[in-house]
Structure 1
Amino acid sequence: MAATMELRCWGGDWGLPSVHTESLIVLAYAKFSGATITVTPIDWTWKTLTGTVPELVYQGSTITEPAQILNFLRKQQRFNADYELSARQGADTMAYIALLEEKLRPALLHTFWVDAENYANLTRPWFASRSPFPLNFLVPGRHANTALSRILLTKGESPLHTITEVEGKIYSEAKECLNLLSHRLGTAYYFFGNTPCSLDAFVFGFVAPLHKASLPSSPLQSHLRQLDNLQRFCDHILNAHFSSHPGSPQPVQETVDANLQKLTQLVNKESNLIEKVLLLSSPWMTT
C-alpha cells in the first residue's frame, strides 16, 4: 500500500476548504492533478504558532511552500496538472505567478491583516477562535506584524516609507493585476484550455478568499465584484472540485461560529494589553 501524503494547513470557512491562500493553492492543485492527500487542519493546536503551513508530510520528509510542494507532486509523485501545457504556456504560467506575488499579495496582506476594520472584525476573531489559549492572544498579532513588515519591506521604497503612504500604490497595482487576470481568462473556465493547471491553482488561492470573505471594508473586494468572470472562476472551481469540503456552509455550524466570533471579539477587546505585554516579553515570537 502506498504511503499516505498528509497536508497540514489552516482549516476552512466562508465556503472555502481553507481560508489561507497558500493552503488553498496546494489543495486546489491536488484536486486538479488527482493527488490523494489526507488534510489535517492545524486549527486549535499549538502548530497555529509553531507550524509552517502548508506543510506536506510524506514518509518522514516534510515539504513546505506551495511551489516546493507542487514541484514534489509533479516530479516525485507524478501528479502533474501541467502536462498538456506548451512551452509558451509554461512560461506564461511562471510570469503570472510572479505577477500575483508582486502585485496582488501585498494588497491582500493589507486587506486582511493591516486594515484596522477588517482585522478587528474578521481576521483577528477568526484566527483567535482557531488557536488554543493562550495562543489566541498571540497568533493574530504575530501574523499582522509579519504582514506589515512584508509590505513595507517589498513596497516601502523611497519616498514611500509608512504604510499609509504605501496603501495607494499597492491597491492600484492589485487592481491592475486583477484586470490583467480577468482579461486573460476571458469567458473560459480555466486559463489554459479545458482543464485546470497550476496557474489556476495559484489564482484560485489568491482570489477566492477575497471573493468569499465578508469584509467590512475592502476597496479591492469592491473592484473584484466588477469582474464577473473571476468570480465565476472561483465559484466553478469550488463547485466542480470542492462540492463537499469542510468549509461548505452548514446552517447550524454558522450560528455556532457567529456566536463564537462575537464572544471572541469581546475577549479580544480586553486582551490588547495582554497581547502587547506577551509579545514584548517574548522576542522569539516575532519575525
Structure 2
Amino acid sequence: MANTIDLFCWPKKDDLQSFSPHCLAVMAYSQFSKASVRVHKCARLQQYTASLPVAYNNGKMIEGMESVFTFMRSQGWNADYGLSEKQQADTLAFEALVKDKLEPAILHLQFVNAENFSNCVRGYYANACSFPWNFYIPGRLQKRAQLTLSALQPTSNRKSDLPDSSLQKKVITEARHCLSLLSKFLHDKEFLFGDSPRTMDAVLYGYLAFLLKSNLPNNVLCAHIRGCPNLNRFVCHVDDQFMKSVPKASTTDASVIIPRLSLSDDRKAQLKVLASIGIGVTAMLAYALLSGIISITLEDDPDADYVTFSVDNRCDDTQHEETTDNSQQ
C-alpha cells in the first residue's frame, strides 16, 4: 500500500462536499476502497490547470477522475476486487453511458445555461479561487464546456465553437433516458452490483449528488431524479454511510505538499493572467482617449516648477447636450 494520498478537490458548497461531480466521485471511491487520503481544497497550481480532482503521492501528480481511480487501484485500493467478468464489462458499459449521455447535460446546466452560470456557477468558482484566478478560471471552465458540447453537434450545424440552442433538448432528453436506465438496473439493490459499493457506484453518486444538491436555479434533471425513489435512496445511503467520514486536511498541510517544481509554472501562469488584465485595461483606456470619451489637458504655469493636468469626461457633456436638444424639440 502507498503512503497517504493528498487529494485536491473543488471546495464544498451547501450540502455538497464538493461542487464537482468528478471530485465527489473520487471522494466516494476513496471511502469505498478504504484508501488513505487527505482532502484539500483547490490549491494555486490546480486552479490554473482547472483539472481537479488531482491526487499527489510521493512526488507524483495524477489529474482527472479516471486517472485517480487507476492510481488508487495500482496502490492496492481496489473497490472492484471480486467482480465477475460480466460485471466488469457492465462497469465499462455504464461508465461510457454516463460519460456520453449524462455528463454533457451537466456541463450544459452548469456552463451553457445562462441563468445557472450567472447566478450560481460563476460566483462559486470565483469565490473558490484566489486573485487573479477568480477572474480567469470561471471563463476558462465555461469555454472548455462549450467546446466539449459543440463537438457533439453535427458538423453541418457547427457554425461556431458555441453549442446551438437545439443541443439543449438533445442532451437533456438523453440524460433523462440514461437516469431511467440506471434506476432500472439499480432496482431495489443497495448498490449497482449487490451489497458492496464499486467504482461505478462512486461515479453514479458523484453525478446524482451534484444534480440533487447543487441548488442550480434551473435544474430540470433534479425533478427527474426525485421521481426515481431508488436513486434518491442510493444517494442518501452513500451520504450517511461513507461521505461523513471523508478525512479533511488541516489548512497548513496544503502549502507543504504542493510540488516545488510546479510552482515556477504556476508563477508563469499567474504573470500571464496579470498581463492579460493589464492589456485589457490599457486597451479600454486607449479607446476612451481616442474616441474622446476622456480628454487630458496639460496646464503649464510658467511661474511654477511643475506641470498640472486635468481629465475631462465627455460623456456627461454629451448627455447634457442631448437632453437640451430634446427639450428644445
Per the normalisation by structure 2, the TM-score is: 0.71
Deviations 1:163-208 (A, max 9, x none): 2021111111111000001111111220001010001011111221
Relative to structure 1, the CA distance from residue 245 to residue 280 in structure 2 (aligned partners, 3 Å threshold; closer, same or farther) is farther
Deviations 1:33-71 (A, max 9, x none): 01011111116x453223531111111111122222212
Q: SS state of the match for residue 17, structure 1? A: coil
Q: SS state of the match for residue 6, structure 1? A: strand
Identify the residue that residue 241 of structure 1 maps to in structure 2. Answer: 242
Identify the residue that residue 94 of structure 2 maps to in structure 1. Answer: 96
- Contact 1:46 1:131 (C-alpha < 8 Å) held by counterparts: no
Question: In structure 2, how many angstroms separate the alpha carbons of the residues matched to 1:140 and 1:97?
Answer: 27
RMSD between aligned residues: 2.4
Identify the residue that residue 192 of structure 2 maps to in structure 1. Answer: 191
Question: In structure 2, how many angstroms separate the alpha carbons of the residues matched to 1:150 and 1:231?
Answer: 29
Aligned positions of 1:171-186 closer than 5 A? 171-186=172-187
Comparing 159-168 with 193-202, greater Cα deviation is found at: 159-168
Report whether the alignment pairs 1:169 with 2:170.
Answer: yes
Question: In structure 1, how many angstroms separate the alpha carbons of the residues matched to 2:2 and 2:175?
Answer: 42
Matching residue's letter, 1:124 = R
- Contact 1:46 1:132 (C-alpha < 8 Å) held by counterparts: no
Deviations 1:220-279 (A, max 9, x none): 2222221121121111101110125599xxxxxxxxxxxxxxxxxxxxxxxxxxxxx849
Which structure has more RCO (C-alpha within 8 Å, separation ≥ 6)? 1
Q: SS state of the match for residue 138, structure 1? A: helix
Question: In structure 2, how many angstroms separate the alpha carbons of the residues matched to 1:39 and 1:59?
Answer: 16
Identify the residue that residue 107 of structure 2 maps to in structure 1. Answer: 109
Give the C-alpha shift of residue 160 in structure 1.
Answer: 4.1
Relative to structure 1, the CA distance from residue 181 to residue 35 in structure 2 (aligned partners, 3 Å threshold; closer, same or farther) is same
Question: In structure 2, how many angstroms separate the alpha carbons of the residues matched to 1:126 and 1:279?
Answer: 24
- Contact 1:160 1:166 (C-alpha < 8 Å) held by counterparts: no
1:156 to 153, 157, 161: 153
Relative to structure 1, the CA distance from residue 234 to residue 160 in structure 2 (aligned partners, 3 Å threshold; closer, same or farther) is farther
Relative to structure 1, the CA distance from residue 216 to residue 143 in structure 2 (aligned partners, 3 Å threshold; closer, same or farther) is same
Identify the residue that residue 222 of structure 1 maps to in structure 2. Answer: 223
Q: SS state of the match for residue 8, structure 1? A: strand
Identify the residue that residue 72 of structure 2 maps to in structure 1. Answer: 73
Question: In structure 2, how many angstroms separate the alpha carbons of the residues matched to 1:50 and 1:63?
Answer: 12
Q: Higher Cα Rg: structure 1 or 2? A: 2
Question: In structure 1, how many angstroms separate the alpha carbons of the residues matched to 2:279 and 2:141?
Answer: 15
Relative to structure 1, the CA distance from residue 94 to residue 279 in structure 2 (aligned partners, 3 Å threshold; closer, same or farther) is farther
- Contact 1:6 1:38 (C-alpha < 8 Å) held by counterparts: yes
Relative to structure 1, the CA distance from residue 235 to residue 219 in structure 2 (aligned partners, 3 Å threshold; closer, same or farther) is same
Question: In structure 2, how many angstroms separate the alpha carbons of the residues matched to 1:62 and 1:83?
Answer: 24
- Contact 2:39 2:247 (C-alpha < 8 Å) held by counterparts: no
Give the C-alpha shift of residue 84 in structure 1.
Answer: 2.3
Identify the residue that residue 63 of structure 1 maps to in structure 2. Answer: 62
Give the C-alpha shift of residue 86 in structure 1.
Answer: 0.8
Question: In structure 2, how many angstroms separate the alpha carbons of the residues matched to 1:169 and 1:133?
Answer: 37
Question: In structure 1, how many angstroms separate the alpha carbons of the residues matched to 2:222 and 2:46?
Answer: 30
Deviations 1:67-92 (A, max 9, x none): 22212211x31111111211100100
Gap runs ≥5 in structure 2 = 249-275, 281-329
- Contact 2:27 2:243 (C-alpha < 8 Å) held by counterparts: no
Q: SS state of the match for residue 8, structure 2? A: strand
Question: In structure 2, how many angstroms separate the alpha carbons of the residues matched to 1:145 and 1:181?
Answer: 30
- Contact 2:2 2:75 (C-alpha < 8 Å) held by counterparts: no
Q: SS state of the match for residue 40, structure 1? A: strand
Identify the residue that residue 205 of structure 2 maps to in structure 1. Answer: 204
Give the C-alpha shift of residue 148 in structure 1.
Answer: 0.9
- Contact 1:187 1:229 (C-alpha < 8 Å) held by counterparts: yes
Give the C-alpha shift of residue 159 in structure 1.
Answer: 5.0
Q: SS state of the match for residue 113, structure 1? A: helix
- Contact 1:138 1:279 (C-alpha < 8 Å) held by counterparts: no
Matching residue's letter, 1:78 = G
Q: SS state of the match for residue 194, structure 1? A: coil
Matching residue's letter, 2:131 = F
Relative to structure 1, the CA distance from residue 112 to residue 280 in structure 2 (aligned partners, 3 Å threshold; closer, same or farther) is farther
Matching residue's letter, 1:208 = A
Deviations 1:8-45 (A, max 9, x none): 111122322211121111111110001011111116x4
Tell me the number of residue pairs that the alignment of Structure 1 and Structure 2 aligns. 251
